[in-house]
Amino acid sequence: MTRKYFGTDGIRGRVGEPPIDAEFMLKLGWATGRVLGNGDSTRVVIGKDTRISGYMFESALEAGLSAAGVDIRLLGPMPTPAIAYLTRTLHACAGIVISASHNPYHDNGIKFFSAEGSKLDDEVEAAIEAELEKPMVTVPSDRLGKAERMEDARGRYIEFCKSTVPSSLSLRGMKIVVDCANGATYHVAPSVLDELNAEVIAIGVEPDGLNINEGCGSTHPARLREEVLKQGADLGIALDGDGDRLIMVDHQGEEVDGDELLFIIANSRREAGCLDGPVVGTLMSNLGLEHALQQQSVEFLRARVGDRYVMELLRHHGGMLGGESSGHIICLDRTTTGDGMVSALQVLAAMVERGVSLHELKQGMKKYPQRMINVPLTRPIDVDASDPIQAAVKASEAVLNGRGRVLLRPSGTEPLIRVMVEGEDEELVCQQAQQLAEVVRQAVVQKQETV
């Protein structure tokens, strides 16, 4: 389906540039109210992260929804997964998140959740886009929606996070550094850990509207690593700006990425006898994850890159665990969407249950060396239809001889071809990646010359 505004995860862009401006957000609120408001529930919840433009877009969406006759609950700064949870438990007809996730402050975007706390289906997004093309008509004054600020949203979500692990779980004696990326978890994550009796050192908890994700959080774990080593902490937790991604650091300062975290949670579920269905990763998931799960007789499937596609495959195959290397992990046996804090708690519970460190827990998976090279495009090129590129891919696969894999894919957000090679031998992996990238570059040049 061709969509004008919606991407793979809502609508996103630079603030002030259409469609990420106040005028569009007013119309979007109205269109959303028209499509999702119904007789049984005409309440929409709105949450946001800490970037400064959230104030402007919150007000615009509120006005649009009111004009469509829909009531609004304003949650203030809250993690994206908290909005999913509260949409469901408040019996709202939809949840709206104002966030650009791990992007810098000058970007922003809108994500939606259905009444069930899940991402919207393509058909619903198409219906909203269709309404956006119509003239905006305000309902009569006696049917305008009312707005109310919800004061206990934070406390409700903290209690939910704690409910995803055994009530007997205690983190007493554990020193944890948590980096909240100056984002939406700044007033949530430290409290969750503190209430579970951990000694908490919080960083990235001073949002000013402009510093979200700036040199901190899951996309910049160096600061967390330094603090873990400096404090002699047992581990570190890094969340992104809207709280749906997670990266951890063990007591030795070694990063534990989404693939390793997914393995730890899956293996813990398997040992407890409660792992249903396959584990789902993506085309970019490390080959070591696939092999480690195979050794445990756990089926592993690969989806296209993006949590939307991971979720689709999980639902289709009856799975409960999936995720991406970036740390977007979905635990469907605990919640309805990717949740960084909930995922962190599953790892902590596994550590306590087995009485081992995070460093020990990740040893069951051996990461394969992986090399990624981005080749810029001046014009679109179909790598599958290029004989020289396909010949080079087959040659690389022959060299790897079953001990690695090759992946070429166009970026979904930039004019790039991503060339990825991984395998057991790091030197060989780098060599093959360079050779493949050069073949792609030559094909791009040839395409340019023939146009």
CATH, residue 379: 3.30.310.50
Over residues 353-402, the pLDDT tens digits come to 999 999 999 999 999 999 999 999 888 889 999 999 999 999 999 999 98
**Is residue 3 domain-resident?**
no
Task: Please give the residue range of the domain that contains residue 379.
Answer: 370-450
Q: 335 and 210, same structural domain?
A: yes
Q: Which helix (H) or strand (E) element contains residue 290?
A: helix 287-295
Domain boundary among 313, 347, 364: 364
Q: Residue 155 has what pLDDT?
A: 98
Q: Residue 41 has what pLDDT?
A: 61
Residue 1 has pLDDT above 80, yes or no: no
**Is residue 4 domain-resident?**
no
Q: Residue 207 has what pLDDT?
A: 98
Supply 272's token pair. Answer: 């407890």
Average pLDDT over residues 252-264: 98
Tell me the CATH number at 357. 3.40.120.10
Query: Which of 242, 109, 261 lies closest to 181, judged by CA?
Result: 242
**Is residue 1 domain-resident?**
no
- 413 — pLDDT class (breaks 50, 70, 90): low
Q: Residue 294 has what pLDDT?
A: 95
Q: Residue 444 has what pLDDT?
A: 86
Backbone dihedral region of 92: left (phi > 0), alpha (psi from -120 to 50 degrees) or beta? beta
Q: Are 164 and 335 in contact (CB under 8 A)?
A: yes
Domain boundary among 134, 151, 168: 151
- Tell me, what DSSP letter sits at residue 4? S
Angle between helices 80-89 and 153-163 (to 10 degrees): 90
Q: Residue 451 has what pLDDT?
A: 57
Average pLDDT over residues 55-76: 97
Q: 203 and 315, same structural domain?
A: yes
Q: Are 271 and 281 in contact (CB under 8 A)?
A: no
Q: 382 and 326, same structural domain?
A: no
Task: Give residue 1's identity as a one-letter amino acid code.
Answer: M
Residue 329 has pLDDT above 90, yes or no: yes
Longest dimension (CA), the chain: 72
Over residues 77-130, the pLDDT tens digits come to 999 999 999 999 999 999 999 999 999 999 999 999 999 999 999 999 999 999
Q: Residue 39 has what pLDDT?
A: 57
The pLDDT > 70 percentage for the chain reads: 97
**Is residue 118 domain-resident?**
yes
Residue 57 has pLDDT above 70, yes or no: yes
Residue 73 has pLDDT above 60, yes or no: yes
Q: 341 and 395, same structural domain?
A: no
Average pLDDT over residues 264-274: 97
Least confident of 38-42, 97-101, 264-268, 388-392: 38-42
53 is annotated as an active-site residue: no
Average pLDDT over residues 428-434: 96
Q: How many domains does the chain have?
A: 3
Residue 276 has pLDDT above 80, yes or no: yes
- 325 — pLDDT class (breaks 50, 70, 90): very high
Question: Which of the residues 53, 66, 99, 101 is marked catalytic?
Answer: 101
**Is residue 2 domain-resident?**
no
Average pLDDT over residues 249-256: 98
Backbone dihedral region of 108: left (phi > 0), alpha (psi from -120 to 50 degrees) or beta? beta
Domain boundary among 96, 131, 151: 151
Least confident of 240-249, 307-316, 411-420: 411-420
**Is residue 6 domain-resident?**
no
Q: Residue 447 has what pLDDT?
A: 75
Q: Are 4 and 129 in contact (CB under 8 A)?
A: yes
Q: What is the mean pLDDT of the chain?
A: 95
Q: 201 and 142, same structural domain?
A: no
Q: 301 and 276, same structural domain?
A: yes
The pLDDT > 90 percentage for the chain reads: 90
Q: Which helix (H) or strand (E) element contains residue 77?
A: strand 71-77
